A and B are shown apart, each in its own frame.
Chain A
Amino acid sequence: MFAVILLPQFRLQAALRLRAELCAQPVAIVDERSDKGVVLEGNEVAESSGVTTGMPSAQALARCENLTLLPRAIGQERVAQAALLEVACSLSPEVEATADGCCTIDLRMAKISDWPAWGAAVVERFAALELRARIGVGSNADLAFLAARRAAPVLVVQTPTVFLSQLAVTEIDPPPHLLALLRDWGVHTLGQLTSLPRGELASRLGPDADRLWKRAMGRTHRLLRLVRPVEEFVETFEFEQEIETTEPIFFILRRFLDQLARRLTGVHRVAAAMRLTLLLENRTTHERLFTIPAPTVDAEVLFRILRTHLDGLQLKQRPTGVWLQVDPARPDHQQLRLFESPLRDANRFGETLARLIALVGHGNVGVAEIADTHQPDRVRLAEPKFHELRAAAHTDAEENLAIGLPLRRYRPPLAAQVQVERHEPAYVVSDTAHGRVAGALGPYRISGGWWDRERWGTEEWDVEIAGNGLFRLSRQNEQWFIEGCYDAQLR
């Protein structure tokens, strides 16, 4: 027999799994990519108000005034799908990930006598994960799938012909052109479809129709596209009692890494990331993800990364256990050209970064990228991509124009007081430069971001302050700053 586990209204279930407060209200998931925001799935409350799948969101709102429209929760869908496969793989090694929220299990080798009881137990397991499941059992995969669609929550098909004849044609997902034609013909159920002469049908509508007819008869036997259980490289250890120093953790982590390195080598993989979780005495955890700059199986290198982090770590709770997961990756076989190296020692660089993170905090370290905007000095912090770290040639037209004296920028700019005469800066007072303005060029105005709360606007002047040198001043919201000084020596 085959079994299909179906998580009905998968997208809706995924989106509402952590938002129980919405379950009693009318809720629908909309496809934000479509022009009219078509409804993908709606809960029972929404459906009872006339909201149906495929309906434009405007019409859905017309029918159900207090309808909550949610976009797809892609992340939650992944979690739910992973849970589905995890359970399925524990039931049989032969599992197909048929679709999102649906998997098919080949149970022909299993010795199960009471299928309804077996199904009910599986449903229970999903209930514990806060997921609703339907189980269909049939003599082939397609039949089991159809059974799962009709299950409440478990359906075992004993007599396929009787079961199938009552089903709507739409249940076997015919190609749209065939479905339209069959509707035109008044063929709505599988029974009506199979009553048509097979040969005549195939000669008229082609092989697609023939396949459909066979499916309607429950006669298809297809091979499952099996998925292997996810390879997990995890090691875990619980201490007998709370530990006071980091030494026991270092000891056990080193053993973990030796074991994991061996396992990775055995399957020709390298470690691309490590996920360290420390279980703490108050049942909370400390978690940290380490991206390996140059993926490796060198246990020593991996250990140094962990050690750098743990050396600077101060926890308010004592650890009671440690859990380490390694994300495997294929080794990078790219050969660089002679004398070419993306980074001299990527892992050492990674280590340095880890030290910096320990100092300034997570989220405050990255690679600065110049943003595409007129706003000067506007950068964003990007995740370091070690294999792309090369000196990129800068070919910006705007930059080419900036010929003249090099500017040494003060970051952040220095506050200043500026006296203005005849619309021009006349006297500057600041910690760095102080004095009468001997000459001024400007103003130069730039502004942007007017559409957001981050609206900005700057007026800049280049000034010569008597006895001090050349400076760039800026005025933002009536506040003056010295942006930098021009280096006359470097001209």
Chain B
Amino acid sequence: MTRSYVELHARSAFSFLRGAALPEHLAEQAAKLKLSAMAVCDRDGLYGAPRFYGKGREFGVRSIVGAELTLEDGAVLPVLVQSRTGYQNLCRLITRAKLRGTKTDAPVRWDELSEFTEGLVALTGDEEGPILRCLERDDHESTRQCVARLRAAFGEENVFVEVQRHLRRGEDLRIAQLVDLARAERLPLLATNGVLYALREQRAVLDVFTCARQHTHLDVAGRLLNANDERHLKSAAQMSRLFRDLPEALDNTVALAERLEFSLEKLGYQFPTFAVPSGESESAFLRQQVFRGARERYQELRPEVRAQLDKELALIEKLGFCGYFLCIWDLVQFAKAQNIMVQGRGSAANSAVCYSLGITACDPIAYKLLFERFLAEGRNIWPDIDLDLPSGNRRERVIQEVYRRYGQHGAAMTANVITFRGRSAMREIGKALNFSEDVIGRFSALYGNGDFPHTLDLPAQLRQAGIPADHARAAAAMSLYKLIYGLPRHLGQHSGGMIICQNQLSSFIPLENASMPGRVVAQWDKDDCDDLGIIKVDLLGLGMMAVLQETIEVSAQRGRKMELYEVPADDPATYEMIRAADTVGTFQIESRAQMATLPRLKPKCFYDLVVEVAIVRPGPIQGGLMHPYLKRRCGQEDVTYFHPSLEKVLKPTLERTLGVPLFQEQMLKMSMDLAGFTGAEAEELRRALSFHRSHERMDKVCIKLRDRMREKGLTPEVTDQLVKSVQSFAVYGFPESHAISFALLAYASAWYKVHRAAEFYAALLNNQPMGFYSSASLIKDAQRRRLHFLPVSVCESEWPCTVVNDSTVRLGLCVVHGLRHDHGAHLLLERRRAPFASLADFQLRTSLPKTALRTLARIGALQGLAEHRREAQWQVEVVREGDDLFAHAASDDARPLAQMKAVERTQADYSGTGFTIGPHPMALLRARLPDIWRASDLPTARTGTVLRIAGQVICRQRPGTAKGFVFVSLEDETGVANAIVTPQIFERSRLLISEEPFLIIEGVLQNIENVIHVKAQTIAPLQAGELAAPASHDFR
């Protein structure tokens, strides 16, 4: 007879190398097996709980929360959550152990268990559990003591003796011992399968993970591996057959599951309230701050402004978000007080309240932005405010301020789940299958720094790596690859997402130490937090914010003050530069793809830039929206609105983008206008659009959209076209407000590049790495714009690059590879005390390590103290002692080393700083490349001409939207030439393109509206000897 059964002990892949199935997969399989409820107990955490809960709800499987706790003696104790108190206790207990221990070793102490056991139920566990470990040693006294300890900690009713049957010889004896124990101690028996994977075939994954944990491979792992594949999720019928001798063990699973009533739905999370001055309410205080800010922003409070603010404030108050807005406002105030540039992005830019509070920088009323995109009644979720901050120390100061305000247990970064992707998956598989390092390395190299399964299938890639299809292990490698791809590998921290809580955050999510000192990270990622209604504040670091802040500060110091808000709009010179795609170093519009669009879009005003930022995105490109827009813009195509019958409905929404939907807001409005979506349904669509993790979510909403449009009588063609547009946005479509925020920075950066070039480029160099280009490319670009660079000099340079005059920048000590900041500071301190009299004096007073001295000598930074670089190199090798009376005297006048030649100087510059301010390496190779076209000469060639270009590879890209085409940018002494490589040629020359630092490309020139490309026919390496190449922007 089949009895009812609930699986109460399962580990997901979020137990990191100890489980082989995603929690979603476990939930789906549980539903297939008709299990009404199931518990996931990940090792030392609740990592997989939200996903299991979400999927379980969808499939009608009640999710029970639990965890396996590693105890100080190495035993592993599974616990299940009965109530909210129990949940909070479990979170606190895990947090305490995690924050006390290290990333890999954070056990719970036996003596602290009892403090946190209210609302929790303990199982005695599997072979790693405390009881079986004692029985394994035949230590019956310890077994009894262990039971007593568990009873004392969890209470009489809350300890279950767990029995598992995995069809292995010898286990019947253990089960008999456990049954005897349970009867002697009057404890209930509980059957579980100790599930480690959803399906039998995933046992192979677990074996590979076992090898990874034990640092071994399958050939020698022996009995470290599973004996069979029985630890998969089983149905009630299967479990009934296994435990027909112990029916009460099965019945108890159902009885216990009924007791475990807690659900993640009842989390009880609250966002912090804001401490307002006594006697004031949060809403009154917020209104006060909003109107005070509005008077500064708008100067005059026009009726429509006042009306908008009243409307927004009323809704904010009604939804109970006043405290949230005040907290964000307070954080922005802190940043401004600390002289940290801050700007809100995302949908917050749609709010006049945010604009008035100084959170965002663009006026939503002026741009007619939809407030409902940001906040609407009935959405029942928190508004999303993301803050952009200058990357680096300034952002860290704001993050640390959040920790300071809310305490170590009150705030945390959200996690970032790092999953097994192509390279990492095959590396682990290859190691387990005992492939040589050579094979694994070659497999990785074949990716060309990106995953491209669409052009090189797995068997071909394995074959090229040295594992042909008939290899004994090729089949295993391929099936494992499919099973492991996408499983979680480890937990990182999100780049800027922080969560905070009114009470202790650690009562709602377990927290742990991040690898970065001073950071605490939650066990859930931002999507998990979002799903469970935990509010997240994104404190994102933008390199360009740091650059702009520095540019503004230095300009002010030099008497050329121009704050961001003072930057003149519609500056002709700025737009001229943008139209010419001379945008290296600017924000957003500097990438190869953006540069290829700018000459065609020809921006003339700010809104054109907003469109430019939004249009060169995977969403609009994949949706086939980019080319229609460009054609309509230059009059090559009529402006239509999908169908003449829809013009009246869609024109108000799409007119500003010439009938082409480019922004999320337009998509939502169209769904409301054409499919009759309600506000809540539009919100569901928006969440599907921005929820990158789930294709399924997107598919579901698209079906709904299609059905509704059909019901409204739209033709299948129009419906298809609209749905395709919507689907493309799921990849990465921009909200209009977000595009406006970014366009502001793009325009400002372009303006500073034109009008404050020295300050701007100096700031760019000081904030590397950032953006699309390396320092080497930025310097060559600046030089082409007639900016002059002075070399690093220990007698002249400061730590950062500094502005000498409007057209000259002195390179700072910060660009010197291997020179530590404290050494640089000491050098500057000594120089300020007294100028260096000689090289010997410099050496003695700075006490720099030999490696730093050698680099400084090699790059010519000791000029002024030595006649030439080689003389400095000879002199810095003299051993000088501080107490040597003659140390300050020049040791000898000999200069036996010959002066460096131009090529040698270039080599030295690249090795010491990563760039050169001297001739471009291609200039040195030019003499032997007589028939190669220079980048600057390409505009003079006719379309269709077959020619050859050559240069340093500064960018290799293979966008997912380009159907396998690869874009390669070659830099020479005159500029950058772009080549397009077809998928066929790429496959032929894959490793050549990925590995060679210099290339010669022959092909047909295409010049379409001043956008020049060479369509590659043949590709060859350019032997550049020892000339170094800077870092390139590859496949990102």
Contact with B along A438-472 (1 / 0, CB 8 A): 00011111111011110001001000000000000
Asked if B878 contacts A204 (CB within 8 A), the reply is yes
Q: State the CA gap A37–B441 with chains docked (Å).
A: 7
Considering the complex, give the chain B residue whose CB is closest to the CB of A187. Answer: B897
The verdict on B858 contacting chain A, using a C-beta distance below 8 Å, is yes
Contact B991 A59 (CB under 8 A): yes
Q: Say whether B898 contacts A186, CB under 8 Å.
A: yes
Say whether B229 contacts A447, CB under 8 Å.
Answer: yes
Q: Which positions 380-428 of chain A face chain B at CB distance < 8 Å?
A: 397-398, 401-403, 423
Q: Which of B63-71, B216-224, B589-597, B778-786 contacts A (4 or more CB under 8 A)?
A: B216-224
Q: Tell yes or no: A251 within 8 A of B by CB.
A: no
Complex interface: stretch among A28-36, A108-116, A129-137, A359-367? A28-36
Return chain A residues, CB-CB under 8 Å to B222.
371-373
Question: Of all chain B residues, which has the CB nearest A33?
Answer: B437
Taking a contact as CB atoms under 8 Å apart, the answer to whether A35 and B441 are in contact is yes
Contact of B991 among A61, A69, A446 (CB under 8 A): A61
CA distance A34 to B900 in the complex (A): 35
Q: Tell me whether A293 is interfacial, beta carbon within 8 Å.
A: no
Against A, the Cβ 8 Å flags (1 = close, 0 = not) of B976-1004 are 00000000000001111011100000000
- Please tell me if the beta carbons of B476 and A450 are within 8 angstroms of each other in the complex: yes
| Complex interface residues of chain B between 201 and 217 (CB less than 8 A to chain A) | 203-204, 207
A447 to B293, CA, bound (A): 72
Q: Does B822 contact A (CB under 8 A)?
A: no
Contact A185 B878 (CB under 8 A): no
CA distance A445 to B168 in the complex (A): 6
B503 contacts the other chain (CB 8 A): no
Contacting residues of chain A (20-74) with chain B, CB-CB under 8 angstroms: 30, 32-37, 50, 56-59, 61-63, 69
Partner of B904, one of A186, A200, A205: A186
Closest to B170 in A: A401
The interface residues of chain B lying within 8 Å CB-to-CB of A57 are 438, 441-442
Decide if A197 touches B896 in the complex (CB within 8 Å).
yes
- Known contacts A37-B441, A57-B442, A58-B445, A402 near B169 by CB under 8 Å: yes
Alpha-carbon distance A93/B203, docked complex (angstroms): 64
B898 to chain A: closest residue by CB? A186
Residue B295, interface by CB 8 Å = no
**Number of A interface residues, CB 8 Å?**
52
Check if B173 sits within 8 Å of A403, measured CB to CB. Answer: yes
| Contact status of A401 and B169, CB under 8 A, knowing A200-B894, A200-B896, A451-B204 | yes
CA separation between A184 and B853, bound complex, in Å?
13
Residues of A with C-beta under 8 A to B874: 185, 204
Chain B residue nearest to A36 in the complex (CB): B441
Known: A195-B896, A372-B223, A401-B169. A451 touches B433 (CB 8 A): yes
CB distance from B866 to the nearest CB of A (A): 13
**Contact for B896 among A34, A61, A196, A402, CB less than 8 A:** A196
- Interface contact B227-A446, CB-CB below 8 Å: yes
A contact residues around B892 at 8 Å (CB): 200
Question: Closest residue to A65 on the B side, CB-wise?
Answer: B988
**CB within 8 Å for A32 and B438 given contacts A61-B991, A186-B904, A452-B476:** yes
Q: Is there contact, CB below 8 Å, between A398 and B170?
A: yes
Closest to B480 in A: A451
Residue pairs across A and B with CB atoms within 8 Å: the count is 140
Point out the residues of chain A lying under 8 angstroms from B437, CB to CB: 32-37
Contact flag A184-B858 (CB < 8 Å), given A62-B995, A398-B223: yes
A225 at the interface (CB under 8 A from B): no
A186 with B441: in contact, given A37-B436, A196-B896, A204-B877 (CB under 8 Å)? no
> Chain A residues with Cβ under 8 A from B169's Cβ?
401-402, 444, 460
- Residues of A near B220 (CB, < 8 A) are 372
CA distance in complex: A86, B839 (Å): 58
Q: Please indicate the chain B residues that have their CB under 8 angstroms from the CB of A62 in the complex.
A: 989-992, 994-996, 1021
Smallest Cβ-Cβ distance to B465: which chain A residue:
A58
Contact with B along A337-352 (1 / 0, CB 8 A): 0000000000000000
Q: Contact: A446 with B908, CB < 8 Å?
A: no
Verify B441–A58 contact, CB threshold 8 A: yes
Residues in A neighbouring B441, C-beta threshold 8 A: 35-37, 56-58
Are A446 and B228 touching (Cβ within 8 A)? Answer: yes
Q: Closest approach, in angstroms, between the C-beta of A47 and any C-beta of chain B?
A: 12
- B476, A401: Cβ atoms under 8 Å? no
A203 proximal to B (CB < 8 A)? yes
Q: How far is the CB of B228 from chain A (nearest CB, A)?
A: 4
Choose among A59, A204, A403, A450 the residue with the greatest number of B CB atoms under 10 Å from its CB. A450
Within the complex, what minimum Cβ distance (angstroms) separates A385 from chain B? Answer: 20
On chain B, the residues within 8 Å of A446 by CB distance are: 168, 227-228
CB distance from B748 to the nearest CB of A (A): 42
Known contacts being A184-B858, A200-B892, is A444 close to B167, with CB within 8 Å? yes
B1 at the interface (CB under 8 A from A): no
Q: Are B1021 and A50 in contact (CB-based, < 8 A)?
A: yes
Inter-chain contacts of A32 with B (CB < 8 A): 436-438
Q: Is B184 an interface residue (CB 8 A)?
A: no
Other-chain residue from A61, A423, A444, A452 in contact with B473 (beta carbon distance below 8 A): A452
Interface string of A184-224 (1 = CB under 8 A from B): 11110000000111001001110000000000000000000
A374 within 8 A of B: yes
Complexed CA–CA distance, A181 and B855 (Å): 11
Residues of B within 8 A of A200 (CB): 892, 894, 896
Contact B1021 A63 (CB under 8 A): yes
A447 to B232, CA, bound (A): 15
Give A69 to B465 CA distance when docked, in angstroms.
11
Q: Is B873 an interface residue (CB 8 A)?
A: yes
Could you tell me the distance in whole angstroms from the C-beta of B313 to the nearest C-beta in chain A? 61
Contact with B along A156-186 (1 / 0, CB 8 A): 0000000000000000000000000100111
Q: How far is the CA of A71 from the CA of B476 in the complex (A)?
A: 24
Residues of chain B from 427 to 442 with CB closer than 8 A to chain A in the complex: 432-433, 436-439, 441-442
Alpha-carbon gap, A107 to B161, bound state (A): 85
Of residues 141 through 166 on chain A, the ones whose CB sits less than 8 Å from some CB of chain B are: none
Q: Which residues of B contact A34 (CB under 8 A)?
A: 437-438
In-complex Cβ contact of A56 among B173, B223, B445, B992 (8 A): B445
Tell which of A185, A195, A196, A374 touches B225, judged by Cβ atoms closer than 8 Å. Answer: A374
Is residue B885 contacting chain A, with contact meaning CB distance below 8 A? no
A447-B433 in contact (CB<8A): no
B472 within 8 A of A: yes
Cβ contacts under 8 Å, B898 to chain A: 186
Q: B612 at interface (Cβ–Cβ under 8 A)?
A: no
B98: interface (CB < 8 Å):
no
Q: Who on chain A is nearest to B433 by CB?
A: A451
Interface membership of B1023, Cβ < 8 A? yes
Residue of A nearest to B224 (CB): A372
- Report if A59-B995 is in contact (Cβ < 8 Å); known contacts: A200-B896, A374-B223, A446-B228: yes
> In angstroms, how far is the closest chain B Cβ from the Cβ of A438?
18
Whether, in the assembled complex, B927 has its beta carbon less than 8 Å from a beta carbon of chain A, the answer is: no
Asked if A401 and B173 sit within 8 Å, CB to CB, the answer is yes
Chain A residues with CB below 8 A from B1021, complex form: 50, 62-63
Report A428 CB to chain B, min CB distance, Å: 20
Measured CB to CB, the nearest residue on chain A to B858 is A184
B870-A186 in contact (CB<8A): yes
Name which residue of chain B comes closest to A396, CB basis: B223
State how many angstroms separate the Cβ of B543 from the closest Cβ of chain A: 31
Q: Quick one: closest B residue to A455, CB to CB?
A: B476
Contacts A30-B438, A56-B441 supplied; 20 other A-B pairs, CB < 8 Å: A32-B438, A37-B438, A37-B442, A62-B990, A62-B996, A63-B1021, A184-B908, A197-B894, A204-B878, A373-B222, A374-B225, A398-B170, A398-B223, A402-B170, A443-B167, A447-B227, A448-B227, A450-B203, A451-B204, A451-B473
The 10 A-B pairs at the shortest CB distance, nearest first, are namely A37-B438, A62-B991, A372-B222, A58-B445, A401-B170, A204-B877, A451-B476, A59-B995, A62-B992, A374-B227
Can you offer 18 A-B residue contacts whose CB atoms are under 8 A?
A: A35-B437, A36-B437, A37-B441, A57-B438, A58-B446, A59-B995, A62-B989, A62-B991, A62-B995, A63-B1021, A69-B438, A184-B854, A185-B874, A186-B897, A186-B900, A200-B894, A374-B225, A450-B207
